[in-house]
Each structure stands twice: as C-alpha cells, then as structure tokens.
Structure 1
Amino acid sequence: MSPRKSDSRERMILSAATLLREYGASATSIDRVLEHSGAPRGSVYHHFPGGRTQLIDEAVTLAGDFISALIDAAVEADDPLAAVDAFFALWRERLIESEFRSGCPIVAVAVETNDSAPELARSAAEVFARWQEALAGLFTRHGLPEERSRRLASFVIAAVEGAVIMCRAEQSTAALDAAAAEIHDLLAYSLRHRPGQGDKAQP
C-alpha cells in the first residue's frame, strides 16, 4: 500500500534530517530529499512555501527535539554522571550503527550556513542552547554554581560534537571514548568538591 499523501510532509522532514546527518547541509537538496522520501514533487511548495530553507530549518528542529527528549529522559533520572554517560553512549551507538556515516545534523547546518539563510544558524544555536540548559539545570540541582554548571554543560556538548567529527574522519570511536572518560572524571571530581562538600564523597 502506498503512503498516504498526508504523510509527505513528515517523510520529507525525516529524510532531510537523515541526509543532513550523512551528507551535510549543502548536499541536502530538494531533489535528494524527494528521492529519499518518495514524496511527490508537487508537495514541496505546498508543504514548504519557504522552499529548501524552510525544509532544512524544520529538519533541524526535529533533530534537535529528538536529542532533547533523550537528554531530558536522562536528566529525569537525576544522576548527572549517568546523564552525561548516556549522551556520549547515544552518539557512540549512532556512529557504529551507521558505520561512521552519521554525524550531527545540527553541526552540519551550523558550519555550512551563510548570509542567504541566517535563520538556519539561529535554529542551530537554539538547539544547542536547549541541550546546554537541560544539562546545566541538572548540574545546578546537584550543587554546582550556576556559572560553573553552564560552562560544564557547554563543554560537554562541544566535546561530544567535536569527538563525533573526529570519529567520522578516523572511522573509530577512540576520540569519543576518550572524551567520555575525561568528562566523566571531571564531572565526578566537580561534584565531589562542590561548594559545601569539601572532600566528602558524592552521595
């Protein structure tokens, strides 16, 4: 049975997000999205009057929401170390399953945007900010100062994203594994020595 026409919009957004992960923003053309999604050509400007820019923007939002939901689920467990470990594990699994072809669609958009579509850079920045806010809030709840929590959250995200790029180039998880181990140790130390704890062990 062929897909319902009403599914075309969702299929195109999902395809755009997938193509961003694997090929980057400049290679994610309307033609490629149509071929990947199987959506009819006539549906493009019906669903996306803003054209390719709108489609890419919505794919960035979708991908950002997906990762945000995973971060939020880890944060709800209220264990900072487990949340950060899970964030790294998610990307490790994705790299291995895709044979190192799948990167982060948010990074793909952030590094390839230009003055003709500044909204894409803004959307990428908003996604990174949401991820940072979720992690920083968790660290703050566990006694770290607000400013330190924001810095650590930003560092975690930057380390993950940078390591994913290295892993794709090296066809190995070594960079991600190293970053995960170092950040785990740094966060564990920071929580043990948070204000008011002295040398007490983390509860």
Structure 2
Amino acid sequence: MSAKQRMVRSAAYLFRERGYSGTGFRDVIAHSGAPRGSIYHHFPGGKVELAVEAMRYAGDFIAAGTESAISEDPRAAMHAFIGWWRQVLLRSGFQAGCPIAAVTIESHEEAPQLAEAAAAAFRRWRETLAAGLVSGGCPPARAATLATLIVSAVEGATILSRAAKNTDALDAIADELESLVASAMTPPDPPEETDED
C-alpha cells in the first residue's frame, strides 16, 4: 500500500472517532506512518482534499462489501451493511461511527466539495442496496425508497448506539428492515382461476 493510500485510509479511520475538525495532518501522519513531507506532496489542496479522498475511500469500501453480499441473497446486502456498522461500534468500544456522517456534519460553505463527496458516498450506498433489492424482485421505485430508508435508519441507529454504548438500536432496526424488505420482495399471489380457464 502506498503512502498516499495509507494516509487516506488513516484519515477515514480517524474521522470516525474524532470528526473532521478533530483530525489534523499530524494525526494522519502519526497513524499512517507516512513520511511527514509526503502529505503536502500528495494533498496540495490541504485537508479538504484529503477528506474528499477519505470519504471516497470509505464510500467505496463499504459499497464493495455490500455488493459482494448481493450474490448470496439480496437481503444479505442489507445485513452486510448493518453488520459493518455493528462491527465498527464493537471494535472501537463505541468510540467510532461513520466517517461520512462526521465530515458531513462539519461541512462548511467554503468547502462545498466536502458535502459533494459525502452526497456521492451516500448515493453509492443507496444505489448498491437498491440494485440488490431489485435483483431479488423488488420493484425499482420501491427499492430506491427502501434503500434510502436503510441508509438513513442505519446512520441514525449508529449514532444512538454510540450514545448508549450498545447495539440495541441497530438490532431493532435490523429486525424492522428485514420485515419491510421481505414484504417488498415477496412475489405476488398467482391470479385466481376462473371458470373460463
């Protein structure tokens, strides 16, 4: 892994725990082990450029894990998405959350590219989940709505879980979302036979 890739990954990791404002170049250098001068070489646009790259990395990483689960069962994609955040919470002792959400909350008008990068990551997650639902027989419009609901519910439940220091909120939404998704993917009943048949 190159020094640039290590720095991007470290920034995403640190944003999960410290947020955008709480993460500086020094923190990223220390966490990644990259040479000090290399951060200015790879990110001449400064911290905003690094944050955009980190959000793209986090968005792609989570979408890839979700996509790989679709081949098993479209519902597995939803469980993979929820399971990832459960893992993040448990492994960090409930200190880490979503790096995309962390940066979004602190986005400033002078750096609109942060909001754009966050929107792109969230959109990728929704599209990935929707594609999985459609492959399982869910109508496209319904799949898009459900995918938005899944991402929104998981992001909110992750915050609640961090505050409560348990995964009760994530577990609760997983059960509810499973029911919704199952009903959306249930094939319609066959038409009733008539005397003419």
Q: Deviations over 1:67-112 (max 9, x none)?
A: 01101101122x1222212221221122111111121111111111
Q: Would you say the 8 A contact 2:74–2:135 is kept in 1?
A: no
Q: TM-score, normalised by structure 2?
A: 0.90
Letter in 2 for 1:7: S
Pairing partner for 1:44 from 39, 44, 59:
39
Pairing partner for 2:59 from 64, 68, 72:
64
Does the alignment pair 1:83 with 2:77?
yes
Pairing partner for 1:13 from 8, 24, 39:
8
Q: Would you say the 8 A contact 2:142–2:184 is kept in 1?
A: no
Aligned residues: 191
Q: CA shift at 1:35, angstroms?
A: 2.4
1:160-171 map, 5 Å: 160-171=154-165
Letter in 1 for 2:184: S
Letter in 1 for 2:164: E
Q: Deviations over 1:108-139 (max 9, x none)?
A: 11111011111011011111111111111122
Distance 1:191 1:132 in 2: 17
Q: TM-score, normalised by structure 1?
A: 0.88
Q: CA shift at 1:22, angstroms?
A: 0.8
Distance 1:113 1:76 in 2: 36
Distance 1:63 1:54 in 2: 14
Distance 2:96 2:6 in 1: 18
Does the alignment pair 1:24 with 2:15?
no
1:133-148 map, 5 Å: 133-148=127-142
Letter in 1 for 2:156: G
Letter in 1 for 2:169: A
Does the alignment pair 1:114 with 2:114?
no
Amino-acid identity (%): 47
Q: CA shift at 1:199, angstroms?
A: 8.2
Over aligned residue pairs, what C-alpha RMSD do you find?
1.7
- Residue in 2 aligned with 1:3? none
- Residue in 1 aligned with 2:194? none
Structure 1's consecutive aligned runs of 4 or more residues displaced over 6 angstroms after TM superposition are: none
Gaps of 5+ in 2: 192-197
Distance 1:70 1:111 in 2: 25
Pairing partner for 1:150 from 128, 132, 144:
144
Distance 2:34 2:135 in 1: 46
Gaps of 5+ in 1: 1-5
Q: CA shift at 1:44, angstroms?
A: 2.0
Matched residue SS, 2:37: helix
Q: Would you say the 8 A contact 2:75–2:132 is kept in 1?
A: no
Distance 1:55 1:68 in 2: 20
Matched residue SS, 1:39: coil
Letter in 2 for 1:189: S
Q: CA shift at 1:142, angstroms?
A: 2.5
Matched residue SS, 2:20: coil
